[in-house]
Amino acid sequence: MSEVFDAMQFLSYLINGISLGSVYALIALGYTMVYGIAKMLNFAHGDVIMIGSYVVFFAFGSFGLNPIVSVLLSMVVCTLLGVTVERVAYRPLREAPSLAVLITAIGVSYLLQQTAQLMWSSNPKSFTSVVGLRAVSLFDGQLMISGETIVTILSCILIMLALTWFVNHTSAGHAMLAVSEDRGAAQLMGVNVNATISLTFAIGSALAAIAGALLCSSYPTLQPTTGAMPGIKAFVAAVFGGIGSIPGAFVGGILLGIIENLSKAYISTQLSDAIVFLMLIVVLLVKPTGLLGKKVNVKV
């Protein structure tokens, strides 16, 4: 670390942070959707991401399919997986105490991890980036922004806007809002609650596939446990931004990534997690619903 404050250095740490943050944000969008509508914490979300990454790894890396086709294929697989998991493991517990559902979700998370380990072994695989974009060089090469970073940030913003539009302007979206506000009343008004929740899982899991491809493009180590830690961090991001709120997940994710990387850069690489969680505690003390969380109205 140089003693003089170096603006270029600061910018490059900031960009690293935004890059990590937009991955967190993408994952957090899936968490927040499911929480907002089904009122459950889907801890298996991180592992759906891992499965999606493996699908892309084999489709793109091993069979040489087009990267976009590979991601689409992975979205299909993840959607099927998410809907199946919801159908088999969560729907029978719809009326059960939320603790039972939470534990089931943790169980599903382990099931997916161990299955992946049996199928693909635990040996780490090095993921080939699906992003073909070259790194952008600014200020005579003093600042490099990788193609992955640009694509991740752009897709994150696009997905957030699309989701917000979908929820507010389509009938399926209105059904989601209704289920989110009062499941019983929505059912009485003729909303098919099960179908709506299935759709939520389908969308969340499709997002997980995109998140997985982008996560592994930026951080290329792929193992059965790849999704676990980013999944938990993204959950923190969702709480940070206000769980249930779509823009909140985005803001929370980006902030979390920036805080994490700047504290690594300027305070200590060892303490960065402690600082991140300290910030979370402070935010929750001041605003218990998170940064953008409001009592009822913004809940997806």
Partner 1 sequence: MKKFVSIVLATAMAAALAGCGATATPTAATSESGSTASAAAIKIGGIGPITGGAAVYGTAVKNGEELAVKEINALGGTQFELNFEDDEHDAEKSVNAYNTLKDWGMQVLAGPVTTTPTLAVAAEAAVDGIFVMTPSASAQAVIETGDNVFQVCFTDPNQGVASADYIADNALATAVGVIYDASDAYSSGIYEKFKAQADSKGLSIVAAEAFTADNKSDLSTQVTKCKDAGADLIFLPIYYTEASQILKYADSIGYTPAFFGCDGLDGLLAVEGFDTTLAEGVMLLTPFAADAADAKTQAFVKAYEAAYGETPNQFAADAYDVIYAIYEASEAAGVTADMNAADICEALKTQIITMSFDGLTGTNMTWDATGAVSKAPQAVVIKDGAYSAMTASSESAK
Instruction: Give residues in contact with partner 1 (CB under 8 A).
Output: 1-2, 6, 9, 12-13, 16, 19-20, 57, 61, 87-89, 91-92, 111, 114-115, 117-118, 121-128, 135, 141, 144, 146, 215, 218-223, 225-226, 229-230, 260-261, 264-265, 268-270, 272-273
d(CA 154, CA 143): 19
Tokens of 202: 């389908």
Query: Which of residues 146 and 180 has its CB atom nearest to partner 1 in the complex?
Result: 146
CB burial readout 151-178, b (16+ within 10 A) else e: bbbebbeebbeebeeebeeeeebebbbb
Q: Name the minimum Å distance from CB 154 to partner 1.
A: 18
Query: Which of residues 162 and 278 has its CB atom nearest to partner 1 in the complex?
Result: 278
Largest CA distance in the chain: 65
CA 143 → CA 16, 222, 260, distances in Å?
A: 11, 27, 20
Q: Name the minimum Å distance from CB 216 to partner 1.
A: 10
d(CA 243, CA 270): 28
Q: Name the minimum Å distance from CB 293 to partner 1.
A: 26
Query: Which of residues 66 and 121 has its CB atom nearest to partner 1 in the complex?
Result: 121
Quickly tell me which residue has 């289920």 as its tokens: 179
Q: Name the minimum Å distance from CB 75 to partner 1.
A: 21
Q: Name the minimum Å distance from CB 95 to partner 1.
A: 11
Give the type of residue at 125.
K
Query: Which of residues 164 and 272 has its CB atom nearest to partner 1 in the complex?
Result: 272
Query: Which of residues 118 and 154 has its CB atom nearest to partner 1 in the complex?
Result: 118
Nearest Cα neighbor of 222 from 69, 77, 49 is 49
